[in-house]
Amino acid sequence: MNDMTPDKRIPIYLLTGYLGSGKTSLLKSWLAQDEMKEAALVINELGEVGLDNQLLSAATESSALVANACVCCTGLPGLAEALEDLFWARLERRMPRFPNLVIETTGLAEPGPVAEALTSSELLKERYRLAGVITCLSAKTADAVLKQHAEARAQLAGADLLVITKTDTVSPEDLAHLRLRLQHQLDHLNLPHAPRLLTSAHASLSAKDALEHLASHQHKELHLCHIHDHDHDHAAKAIFCPVQAGKNVADLLDQVTLIQQTLGSDLMRLKGRVDTLQGKYVIQLAPFEKVPEVLADGLAWDDATRSGLTLIVSTRLSAESQAQLAMSTAYFQGSMVM
């Protein structure tokens, strides 16, 4: 028997949601609030260059990155190692004594295997506890995402708290209808404990409200909701395209539009930091959205910062799509002009 009672273990909040669901924006807001300002982070990203890690790591002194692997399958050993390393660094006072921890998964990760990984070693079982799963769904794309992607349905089934994000992008009537459809879908899952449902516009949902709802919710056994086997194939890969400094931002966005038009649903996500003639920007494009989000990049740039875009694409690209990607990559790198 261990000498720690469950309430003394470090609570872990698992933050999930399909690609482009707004979970990083929500978490960034929470890290500035009292309830999570001292939280540790484990950030999981597909691709060799992680944007979410760069956006979030400045908000906390205690963070780890599990990169270029999905923590619900090939990245599970990396997740366990990151959690153990964070615990020992906390115990040995090499980092602040964080009161809680957030795991932000890739948009393709299913929560069941991640929850099971918390019992993969005696240290993890004794020192951490899963305090709840928070799943994000974008109001504008929720129906399409749930219809086309099994991972999103698994994330919905595994939720203790379901947050409909980006509610400012739909009308109040459409939001009300979406809530009814989601409630109907949840009812058909016959879950032992249906998740609480909250909404958020511009990452407005507070950490206090989210954690209070989780605290009043009885956490369910996630492995009962797991759809796929642990070794399932997401049929997706990450491609990092370096972008030569000094490109015209309008031309750059034209290339992004070409990629989107050619790849269609085979382009699952696009995001990155770019250094252009007009300044430094963060560019993101979520699934089923038509217009990229372009924001001024307020993060520091140093010698290690790489100007470029990460594309999450299907592994089953057509010859036409592969040719367009090759042309766009050549343009991004400066070997081809518009």
- pLDDT tens figures, 266-275: 998 999 999 9
Reported confidence tier of residue 235, pLDDT bands at 50, 70, 90: confident
Domain ranges within the chain, ordered by starting residue: 8-225, 236-333
Indicate the SS3 state at residue 63: strand
* CATH architecture for the domain at 8-225: 3-Layer(aba) Sandwich (3.40)
189-193, Cβ contacts within 8 angstroms, sequence gap of 24 or more = 189/156, 189/157, 189/225, 191/157, 191/220, 191/225, 192/220, 192/221, 192/224, 193/160, 193/217, 193/218, 193/219, 193/220
Q: Which phi and psi angles does 210 have, rounded to 5°?
A: -65, -45
CA distance 84 to 243: 36
Give me the mean pLDDT over the 200-207 stretch. 96
What is the pLDDT, as a whole number, of residue 70?
A: 55
Out of 100-114, 133-147, 254-268, 301-315, the most confident range is 133-147
Q: Contact 152/145 with Cβ under 8 angstroms?
A: yes
- pLDDT tens figures, 53-100: 665 665 555 556 555 555 555 556 778 888 888 899 888 888 888 999
Tell me the torsion sign for CA atoms 167, 171, 175, 181. negative
CATH dotted code for 236-333: 3.30.1220.10
DSSP classification of residue 118:
T
The alpha helices in 95-244, defined as continuous H runs, are 111-117, 122-127, 142-148, 150-157, 172-189, 207-215
Q: Contact 46/83 with Cβ under 8 angstroms?
A: no
Give me the mean pLDDT over the 20-31 stretch. 92
Q: Contact 174/195 with Cβ under 8 angstroms?
A: no
**Predicted TM-score (pTM) of this structure:** 0.86
- Between residues 231 and 41, the one the model is more confident about: 41
What is the pLDDT, as a whole number, of residue 58?
A: 56
